[in-house]
Structure 1
Amino acid sequence: MIILLSPEQPVAYEVAVINALLERGLPLFHIRKYQFSDTEMMAYVNNIDSGYRQRLVLHSHFHLANELGIERLHFREEDREQNRHKAFMTGFTLSTSVHTIAAFNSLMAVWDYAFLSPIFPSISKKGYGVGYTVLDDLSLRRNLQVRLVGLGGIDQRNYSQVMSAGADGVALLGAIWKTPAPIQVFETINKHIPNGISSS
C-alpha cells in the first residue's frame, strides 16, 4: 500500500498532481493542512475529484468529515494519547502515528494502520531522522492486528528496503513534492507494491 501525504505548504499544481495520482491508482491521500480555515479545507477537498472521496484521509477538521463524505481520519500521536479519537470510533476508519516500535506494538486493533517514522532521514524536513531511524526496529514488530506503514525519507530508490524489512506499506511526502517528476516517481514505486486498502 502506498500513501501520499499532502505538503504542509502549497506546491505548484498540487491538486492536479493529486488527481493524477489518484487516477493512476494511489490508494490513500492524507490531507495534512492544519492551518486551513474550514472554508479553505472545504475548497481544497472539493477540488479533488469527488469519485475519490473514499480514498481521502483527514488529519484535522474532523467536524467537516461527514459533510465532505470522508470516512477516514488520522490522529497524531499526541491526539491518540489524549484519547481524542474516541469520539470517532463509530462510522470512521482510523489511523495514527508512532515513533517507536514499542509504541506500535502496543496499539489496539481500533487502528487500521499506523505510520512508523522516521524510517530514513526526512526528505522534506531537513535534519529529521539524521541521528536516529527506525528501519532496523521493524524486526521487533509483534503487533499483527495493525498494519505498519513506513514514513520518512522513502523514495523510489529505497522503498523496497522498507517492504523487505516487514512494513505493510510506505508513506510518501518529499519524494513526490520535492521532485519535478511526481507522476513518474509514484508509478515506479506503484509497480511493485500491492494496493491493500482495507474495507473496514
Structure 2
Amino acid sequence: MAKSFQNISLELMKKHLKLYFVMGSVNCLKHPVEVLSEAIEGGITIFQYREKGKGALQGEEKLQLGKKLQFLCKQNDIPFIVNDDINLALELDADGVHIGQEDGDISKIRKLVGTKMLGISTHNLSEATEAVKLGANYIGVGPMYETNTKLDTNEVAGPDMIRHLRQNNIKIPIVGIGGINQNNLKLVINAGADGVALISAISSFNHPREAASKLIETINDAYTIE
C-alpha cells in the first residue's frame, strides 16, 4: 500500500525531496533497474518514473518496468512517483504523481490521487500560488538551466525565480528542475530550493552510484554553508 502524505511534516517532505532522480528507459546507458539500483545506493532520496520521449515504452511494457522500479523503491524506502500518467499511478498504487501545467484539471487530479504526494511543475509566481491553493505537496520550478532531456520546456527561469517565489511567501517545498548538475546545483539550493530534480546528471553516467553520491555530498555541503 502506498504511503499517505496528507499529514507528513514539512521537514520530512523536504528530506524526501533533497535528491530527486527522474528517469525512464530512454534516459539510461544501462538497464533502468540497474541504473535505479545504483542511484539508490548512491543516495537519491526520491524517484520519479518518467517514461517519455522517442522509443519510450508503452502499455504493458511500461507497466511492467514501472512495477520493477517501484519494487526497488519499496525495498529501500524511497518514495516512488509517476510522471503525468494518473491512471498508471493509480494502477501501481504509487506514492505520488508529478504533473505539468498542461496535464489536466489540477483540482480533479488532487481528488483522484487522494493522500498521495502531488507535485506540480511551475514557472512563475502565478502558477506557484495556484499550485499551493490546489493542494500541491511540493512544486518543481524551472527550467533552471538549458536542458536537452526535455524538448518541451519553457524559457529558462534560473535560480532567481526560486528566490522570487520565496520572497513572495511561497513556503511549501520547492524542487529546482531543468539542466541541473554537479557544477550548478549549489546555486539552486542557495536560492531557496529544498532539493534538485535531475535526469542526465545520474542516468547518463556509466557509474550512477558515484554520480548520485557526489551530488548528495554537494547538496549537503550547500546546506551546511547556508
Q: Pick the TM interval, shorter chain.
A: 0.7 to 0.9
Within a 5 Å distance, the mapping from 1:51-130 to structure 2 comes to 51-53=72-74, 55-79=79-103, 81=105, 83-108=107-132, 110-125=135-150
Aligned position for 1:183 = 209
Change in Cα spacing, 1:105 to 1:66, as seen in structure 2 (3 Å) is closer
Aligned position for 1:162 = 188
Aligned position for 2:22 = 5
Q: Judge which range, 109-118 or 72-81, deviates more.
A: 72-81
Aligned position for 1:197 = none
Asked whether the equivalents of residues 5 and 173 of structure 1 are also in contact (C-alpha less than 8 Å), the reply is yes
Query: Unmatched 5+ residue regions in structure 1?
Result: 195-200
Find 2:219's aligned residue among 172, 190, 193: 193
Deviation (angstroms), 1:139: 2.1
3-state DSSP class of the match of 1:47?
helix
Q: TM-score, normalised by structure 2?
A: 0.73
Deviation (angstroms), 1:9: 2.0
Structure with the larger RCO, 1 or 2 (CA within 8 Å, 6+ apart): 2
Deviation (angstroms), 1:92: 1.3
Change in Cα spacing, 1:30 to 1:77, as seen in structure 2 (3 Å) is same
Cα deviations across residues 27-72 of structure 1 (Å, max 9, x unaligned)?
Answer: 1111111554331122112322625235210114433434423121
Aligned position for 1:16 = 34
Structure holding more helix per residue? 2
Deviation (angstroms), 1:163: 0.5
Within a 5 Å distance, the mapping from 1:142-157 to structure 2 comes to 142-157=168-183
Q: TM-score, normalised by structure 1?
A: 0.81
**Quick one: which amino acid aligns to residue 111 of structure 2?**
A
Change in Cα spacing, 1:18 to 1:68, as seen in structure 2 (3 Å) is same
Aligned position for 2:60 = 39
Give the aligned length.
Answer: 193
**Quick one: which amino acid aligns to residue 160 of structure 2?**
D
Asked whether the equivalents of residues 122 and 139 of structure 2 are also in contact (C-alpha less than 8 Å), the reply is yes
Deviation (angstroms), 1:120: 1.2
Asked whether the equivalents of residues 101 and 138 of structure 1 are also in contact (C-alpha less than 8 Å), the reply is no
Aligned position for 2:163 = 139
3-state DSSP class of the match of 1:149?
strand
Q: Considering only aligned residues, what root-mean-square deviation do their CA atoms show, in Å? A: 2.7
Aligned position for 2:224 = none
Asked whether the equivalents of residues 27 and 199 of structure 2 are also in contact (C-alpha less than 8 Å), the reply is no
Determine the C-alpha separation between the residues in 1 that align with 2:100 and 2:40.
24
Aligned position for 2:5 = none
Query: Unmatched 5+ residue regions in structure 2?
Result: 1-17, 221-226
Determine the C-alpha separation between the residues in 1 that align with 2:27 and 2:150.
15
Asked whether the equivalents of residues 116 and 151 of structure 1 are also in contact (C-alpha less than 8 Å), the reply is yes
Identical-residue share of aligned pairs (%): 22
**Quick one: which amino acid aligns to residue 179 of structure 2?**
G
